[in-house]
Amino acid sequence: MLAVCLLTVMVTACGSSQEPPQVVEQIVVRERGAPDVAQTASAGTLDLVALGEDAFQTCTGCHSVAPDGRSAAGPNLYGVMGRKAGGLEGYSFSDAFAASDITWDEASMDGFLADPQGYIPGSEMLVGAVPDEEQRKAIIAYLAAQSK
Which residues would be at the binding site for ligand HEC (CB under 6 A)?
Answer: 58-59, 61-63, 73-75, 77, 80, 83, 85-86, 88, 93-94, 96-97, 113, 123-125, 127-128, 130, 139
- Nearer to ligand HEC among residue 64 and residue 123 (C-beta): 123
CA within 13 Å, CB half, 10: 6
Rounded to the nearest whole angstrom, what is the least distance from the CB of residue 63 to ligand HEC in the complex?
5
- Nearer to ligand HEC among residue 47 and residue 54 (C-beta): 54
- Nearer to ligand HEC among residue 39 and residue 60 (C-beta): 60
Q: Give the Å distances, CA to CA, from 23 to 19, 29, 30, 34, 37.
A: 7, 10, 11, 17, 22
Q: Long-range contact list for 11-18, CB < 8 A, 24+ apart?
A: none
- Nearer to ligand HEC among residue 77 and residue 141 (C-beta): 77
- Nearer to ligand HEC among residue 33 and residue 118 (C-beta): 118
CA–CA gap between residue 87 and residue 80 (Å, rounded): 9
Rounded to the nearest whole angstrom, what is the least distance from the CB of residue 142 to ligand HEC in the complex?
9
CA–CA gap between residue 35 and residue 9 (Å, rounded): 39
CA within 13 Å, CB half, 103: 2
DSSP reduced 3-state for 84: strand
Rounded to the nearest whole angstrom, what is the least distance from the CB of residue 127 to ligand HEC in the complex?
5
Rounded to the nearest whole angstrom, what is the least distance from the CB of residue 41 to ligand HEC in the complex?
22
Rounded to the nearest whole angstrom, what is the least distance from the CB of residue 113 to ligand HEC in the complex?
6
